[in-house]
Amino acid sequence: MRILICITIFLFQISYVHAQTKIISEDSTIQKLMRQKNVDKSLKYPDIWFRQGEKYYYGQEETLDYERAYQYWQEAAEKNNYAPAQYGLGLTRLYGRGVSKNYKEALIWFSKAAAQNYEPAFYRLGALYYEGLGMEKRDPKQARNWFHRAALKGDLDATYALGLIYYNGDGMEKDYVNAFRLWLRCAENNNADAQFNIGTLYENKKGVELDIEKAKEWYVKAAEQGHEGAIEALEALGY
């Protein structure tokens, strides 16, 4: 009986889903503003400074420069309470890009962005609480709350993580039915780990009726994406 479940939480993945809004080049506008006297850049144009920081953070137009990205985002975040820039500062602190790595600071900035309902910050907060980074000890309940909020907005990484919490009974009673429901959503969106997990649930009658054929179907989907666990599962089933 196979009960191996993929347990990865994608805290450190660099994904446009969690990190990027559309980048618009504002070089000419910014240079013009810089030349103007008596213009408070940070108060009047936080979105422009945020976008400029994005350009440097993601290396658009061969301009990768984490330190400059941090400086632009800091201007918009600290003086304007601008949520996207606060999220950006959380990223720089999380990865140590352009500034020293500091999980506590990352937690602070993601929290500020989330307080303004900035959705990408929801997943990041959930992952920090899940891992216990930037705090004295991990907090599964807070992690579940933030993953739930992110999942309601369609965040599939958060949906997967929430399924993991339900499956393991992390800070709560185990709930295989909800784990299956959440992972199925991810599996149907081509998440190989979720496909493997769904196969495992079918094979082991957890949260769903025993169905070896359906288990094989999901293992095949995951194996086609190179998932080693799924390949081994199929071999064990004589496929």
pLDDT in tens, 107-154: 999 999 999 999 999 999 999 999 999 999 999 999 999 999 999 999
Determine the Cα angle at 168 with ends 235 and 176, to 5°.
75
Q: Is the dihedral of CA 115, 155, 164, 105 positive or negative?
A: negative
pLDDT at 143: 97
pLDDT of residue 20: 41
Work out the pLDDT band at 45, boundaries 50, 70, 90: confident
Largest CA distance in the chain: 75
Summary mean pLDDT of the chain: 86
Question: Considering just the CA atoms, what is the radius of gyration of the chain in Å?
Answer: 21
Predicted confidence (pLDDT) at residue 25 exceeds the cutoff of 70? no
Tokens of 98: 């352009």
- Beta-carbon contacts of 221 under 8 Å, excluding residues fewer than 6 positions away, are 187, 190, 192, 195, 230
pLDDT digits (tens, 9 = 90+) for 189-209: 999 999 999 999 999 999 999
Structure-model confidence comparison of residues 2 and 53, the more confident one: 53
Query: What pLDDT score does 6 carry?
Result: 63
Can you tell me the distance from the alpha carbon of 150 to that of 166, in angstroms, rounded to the nearest whole number? 16
All domains in the chain, ordered by first residue: 44-118 (1.25.40.10)
Q: What is the tens place of the pLDDT at every residue in 59-86?
A: 987 789 999 999 999 999 998 999 999 9
Distance CA 179, CA 185 (A): 10
pLDDT value of position 9? 52
User: By the 8 A CB rule, do 120 and 19 touch?
Assistant: yes
The predicted structure's pLDDT at residue 19: 41
End-to-end Cα spacing for the chain = 16
pLDDT for residue 2: 55
